[in-house]
Amino acid sequence: MNITVLAAGAWGTALALVFAGRHRVTLWAREADLLQDMARDRENKRFLPGFPFPEGLQLEADLPRAVSQAQLLLIATPIAGLRPSLEALRQLEVATPVLWVCKGFEAGTGKLPHEVFDEFLPGVSNGVLSGPSFAQEVAAGQPTAITLASRDVDFARATAQQLHGGHLRLYASCDLVGAEVGGAVKNILAIATGVCDGLHLGLNARAALITRGLAEIARLGVALGGHKETFMGLAGVGDLILTCTGDLSRNRQVGLGLAAGKSLERVLTDLGHVAEGVPTALEVHRLAGRMGVDMPITAAVVAVLQGRMQARAAVEQLLARDPRDEGC
């Protein structure tokens, strides 16, 4: 299959590497200097150093050329880049199936990725790749399992079958909303868990935070039309556990930095990468308020990100909440 990966950040590069073993893969990037460096080094030293490109991986700077022969497009931008990417594809009158890997609610509109997609390419087969996956481990060929979710279950199954192989396992799902909500909100919970760990509150506290965070994800996801069982799978609890506990998680690093007393601006500058949980937190908080969905951990994260509350005070506020029933 001819696959074109749009955007050469860490995750886009990792996907290009893993699929190049069994498919004809083109990696497109907007930045001319990045492409020149990758062509010279046969490696993405800027975003994913240490992983040489296989001989068959093609690099392309021209978008029309990059998509002209593709049988599948993978958009690997952050969610802020999804809208301009789709606008460019619409101008090219693309009808090729599209998958995206961004996770979040679009800043300003509060839309999930599939809602943005529907504005530009209605009728084109589409879906999301989501689940517990760090780019470095995927590129290294370490075992990874993720979900391919689409509203078209036949498309999800057929495409998952084509991409499945090697150390990357794909599971098809028809719950696009659930997979997107799980992928988005877990980043907020990873910030919270980073704060918890940065304050050295212990493993008991971390486990409680992750568990109650999963309840928040499920409440919002079901309210938006997702399936409750999705949040017990790879795109739900699987991604949540990885992002909350793995030190390769950018959002966890944000929480650790905030717990250390750094400003959000300083934390993001030091990080040098996009942490999707930061803009997503505000959108989710607004959405939960409009829908009447109780999300206290998300509210606490937003208060810390906006500088209205110190990290320790936010944790103390959560601990001071009235007791609740669980499973009664």
Digit-coded pLDDT (tens) for 131-151:
999 999 999 999 999 999 999
pLDDT in tens, 7-31: 999 999 999 999 998 999 999 999 9
The reported pLDDT for the residue numbered 328 is 58
The reported pLDDT for the residue numbered 176 is 98
Q: Are 138 and 19 in contact (CB under 8 A)?
A: no
φ, ψ of residue 295 in degrees (nearest 5): -140, 75
**Block residue for tokens 């492409």:** 35
* d(C-alpha 264, C-alpha 250), whole Å: 13
pLDDT at 321 exceeding the cut of 90: no
Residue 316's pLDDT band, with cuts at 50, 70 and 90, is confident
Task: Read off the amino acid at residue 12.
Answer: G
Q: In 3-state terms, what secondary structure has residue 277?
A: helix
Is 186 a residue of the active site? yes
DSSP result, 231-274: GGSIIIIIHHHHHHH-TT-HHHHHHHHHHTT--HHHHHHHH-S-
Indicate which residue of 45, 186, 228, 262 is catalytic. 186
Q: The domain 2-174 belongs to what CATH superfamily?
A: NAD(P)-binding Rossmann-like Domain (3.40.50.720)
Global pTM reads 0.95
Residue 272's pLDDT band, with cuts at 50, 70 and 90, is confident
Q: For the domain covering 185-319, report its CATH number.
A: 1.10.1040.10
The reported pLDDT for the residue numbered 125 is 98
Q: In 3-state terms, what secondary structure has residue 84?
A: helix
- Extents of the domains making up the chain: 2-174, 185-319
Taking CA atoms, 229 is separated from 132, 150, 225, 232, in Å, by: 16, 16, 12, 5
* d(C-alpha 190, C-alpha 281), whole Å: 11
Average pLDDT over residues 300-306: 96
- Strands across the sheet containing 144-149: 58-60, 24-28, 2-6, 72-75, 98-100, 126-130, 144-149, 168-173
Residues 6+ apart with CB under 8 A from 20: 53, 54, 56, 57
